[in-house]
Amino acid sequence: MTSLIYGRPPAVFDPPGDAVQTSPLIPGSASFDDMAEGSADAVAMLAPPGALERRAVLAQALHVLKPGGRLDVMAPKDKGGSRLGKELKAWGLEIGETAKAHHRRCQVIRPERIEGLDAAIAAGALQRVEGLDAWSRPGVFAWDRIDRGTTVMAAHLPPLKGAGADLGCGFGALSTVVLRSPAVTSLRLIDIDRRAVEAARRNVEDPRAAFDWADVRMMEESGDLDFVVTNPPFHDGGAEDRRLGQAFIRKAAGLLGKGGALWLVANRHLPYEAELNAAFKRARVVVEADGYKLFEAGK
């Protein structure tokens, strides 16, 4: 029996322990994108909060299920759970719906035929985004725009040189700016989201670029880079978590060699000064603009 799981459903729902993980946010996982139609017997899923992303992932799960296979999907009520039943019924499916632990849970037995899956899958696939002039897809951070933090850093970042890394690279917008400097010899683009790394590969066609699908917090600290740029995440599962940015700061310090520089942009309200001062010899605010602070810190 082939059993798949997407994300990390709460333990209260007794998720299968031996299922193959398929979440793009867990490095090393398998991908629905690579799975044949009707190849799985069961899928358990913690559905993502974004509407386009959620519909696409639900459609992919139903696509890979065999007729008669079971989809068991749940989400917090305030993060898409209240809409799960309606979204599944829109494909003509019969569902069993329950509520537990502030989640909605829907269970579906896949029928022989389902109309409309292809359109939902296509809407959530890697695509050239109109007006962005870049490849991206729903679920990637700021998937259809250049976020304001990146815009602030791009406007004030000096030409860099040597070997560097972009921690939490997204679809590669900031890396594109960094690589405009001919003095940059190499750049590692690193993100925990497989979809972001795939998009960045399409957007950053430069022989100096290398790509890693990895959790920045778990990376080995080489201690030899000349620079690090980052617009670090500060949400985990939809809730603000300042520890993410703090972990990125500590990791950047470990990746940099003596004299190396960190360039970090963050929302103005995030208190990263103490972490920067603890991890680096010096740190300063370069500019405050549009609700963001741009820091430069040196080893």
pLDDT for residue 9 is more than 70: yes
- 102 and 135 fall within a common domain: no
Q: Which DSSP string do the residues of 100-151 spell out, in sequence order?
A: ETTEEEEEEE--S--SSHHHHHHHTS-EEETTTTEEE-BTBTTTTS--HHHH
Same domain, yes or no: 7 and 57: yes
Q: Domain boundary residue among 99, 123, 147?
A: 123
Residues 71 and 217 reside in one and the same domain: no
Contact call for residues 218 and 244 (beta carbons, < 8 A): no
3-state secondary structure of 3: strand
Q: How many domains does the chain have?
A: 2
- Residues 280, 136 share a domain: yes
- Give the predicted TM-score (pTM) of the model: 0.95
pLDDT at 242: 79
pLDDT in tens, 242-262: 789 999 999 999 999 999 999
Residue found under tokens 């759970």: 81
Reported as a single tens digit per residue, the pLDDT across 106-156 is: 999 999 999 999 999 999 999 999 999 999 999 999 999 999 999 999 999
- Judge if 215 and 98 occupy the same domain: no
**Domain end among 91, 108, 123:** 123
13-48: per-residue pLDDT in tens?
Answer: 999 989 999 999 999 999 999 999 999 999 999 999
Q: Is the pLDDT of residue 220 over 70?
A: yes
Q: Considering 123, 153, 185, which residue would you say is the last residue of a domain?
A: 123
User: 196 with 135, same domain?
Assistant: yes
What residue numbers bound the domain in which 28 lies?
Answer: 3-123
Residue 181 to residue 178: CA distance in whole angstroms: 6
Residues 150, 292, single domain; the answer is yes
Do 160 and 285 fall within a single domain?
yes
Q: Do residues 8 and 135 share a domain?
A: no
69 with 55, same domain: the answer is: yes
119 and 148 together in one domain = no
Share of the chain above pLDDT 90, in %: 94
Question: Residue 91 sits in a domain of what CATH number?
Answer: 3.40.50.150
Instruction: Verify that 270 and 210 share a domain, yes or no.
Output: yes
